[in-house]
Structure 1
Amino acid sequence: MKRLFGLLGRIEELTLSLTFLGLALVAVIQVFCRYALDISFTWFEEAGRYVGIFATFLGASLGVKYASHFSMDLLISSAKPRVRKALHCGIGLLCGCAMLDLAFYGFRLVVRNYNFGNTSAAMQLPMYIAYLPIPFFALIMALRFYRIAWNALRGQLQTPKTDGGGQLS
């Protein structure tokens, strides 16, 4: 299971890097074409919006992996080890349930858009494709939160390690 999560993490990181690189490259091309050649791509703004949704949910999933989401841990850090373990487990379970709820309703939204047959204005992309990252990455986040809860229950609390320069190792 650890290997699966490791491989998933590396795929996510590579995908997010390539997504931002591609978005930046297309933006530079769009600006060059607009101002130098007086040509504008009508689909770019729409594509940028959907790629932004994709990158947001992918980044949120990686945020769970690295425990980099905003949190207030005064109560947890000042608690006794047994209470700390219970709090980490409970928070992991609660957040996992919230992400499963988001995945469920996101999936319903995808199905509803599929049934309606809506397409986007400029690209004529089926709208259910634009909404697919929501349930997909919410499910991955739920699995990661449940893994955090399981590790807390087993007494293996993991915190991200940095190399001193702010880079995760």
Structure 2
Amino acid sequence: MMGAIIKAIDGFNKVLGIVLALLLMVMSVVVFYQVFSRFVLDESLRWSEELARYIMIWSVFIGSALALRKMELIAVDAIKEVLSEKYKNILVIFIYTLSIVFLLVLVNYGFQLAGSVMGQTSPAMRISMAWAYAAIPIGSIFMIINIIAVILERALKLKGGSPV
């Protein structure tokens, strides 16, 4: 059962990885075209910097979720290095459980924040600011999903089973 959940989350992450790649590609094209437009065509695109900023915000949250799953976020491992494998897994489960609590707070306040700016529009693109702020709760949900996969893998290791 836990293995199936982990596989489903990893499948979801493949889709997130594709979305992230597309976002970064679009951002690169927009920034390149802005530079080309400004220095070669001698005219500036008003919306390009704003779009690049919003894509970057979404990319950070999606990328953080993917990095969480791969355990590639920056961490101080001094305590973990002196622990046995069993206690390392227990510590990771404890830390990630605390992280879920923090991320649930981010989800809650993120949705409140996105709701409160729904009536505001961005200066250049004239889209609702809720689109930019929605990255906070949605990205936090993605991170929670990936933390669940990490916790399940560590729990399987503690039980002596194979993580997938």
Q: What TM-score does the superposition give when structure 2 sets the normalisation length?
A: 0.86
What are the within-5 Å matches in structure 2 for residues 134-145 of structure 1? 134-145=136-147
Runs of 5+ unmatched residues, structure 2: 160-164
How many pairs does the alignment contain? 155
Residue 87 of structure 1 aligns with which residue? 91
Letter in 1 for 2:129: M
Q: Indicate if the aligned counterparts of 2:86 and 2:158 stay in contact, CA closer than 8 A.
A: no
1:57 is aligned, of 56, 61, 82, to: 61
Q: 1:109 to 1:24 in 2, by over 3 A?
A: same
Residue 132 of structure 1 aligns with which residue? 134
- Report the 3-state secondary structure (helix = DSSP H, G, I; strand = E; otherwise coil) of the residue aligned with 2:117: helix
What are the within-5 Å matches in structure 2 for residues 19-98 of structure 1? 19-98=23-102
Deviation at 1:30, TM superposition (A): 1.4
Q: 1:87 to 1:29 in 2, by over 3 A?
A: same
Deviation at 1:151, TM superposition (A): 2.6
Q: What TM-score does the superposition give when structure 1 sets the normalisation length?
A: 0.84
Identical aligned residues as a percent: 26
2:107 is aligned, of 103, 114, 118, to: 103
Q: Deviations over 1:83-102 (max 9, x none)?
A: 22321210110111111111
Q: Indicate if the aligned counterparts of 1:97 and 1:142 stay in contact, CA closer than 8 A.
A: no
Runs of 5+ unmatched residues, structure 1: 158-169
What are the within-5 Å matches in structure 2 for residues 140-159 of structure 1? 140-155=142-157
Residue 8 of structure 2 aligns with which residue? 4
Residue 119 of structure 1 aligns with which residue? 121
Deviation at 1:17, TM superposition (A): 1.2
Q: 1:156 to 1:148 in 2, by over 3 A?
A: farther
Which runs of 4 or more aligned residues in structure 1 lie more than 4 Å from their structure 2 counterparts after TM superposition?
A: none
Q: Deviations over 1:119-152 (max 9, x none)?
A: 1111111011111111011011112223322332
Q: Indicate if the aligned counterparts of 2:47 and 2:125 stay in contact, CA closer than 8 A.
A: yes
- When the two chains are superposed, the root-mean-square deviation of aligned CA atoms in Å is 1.7
Instruction: Tell me: higher relative CO, structure 1 or 2? Use CA pairs within 8 A at least 6 residues apart.
Output: 2
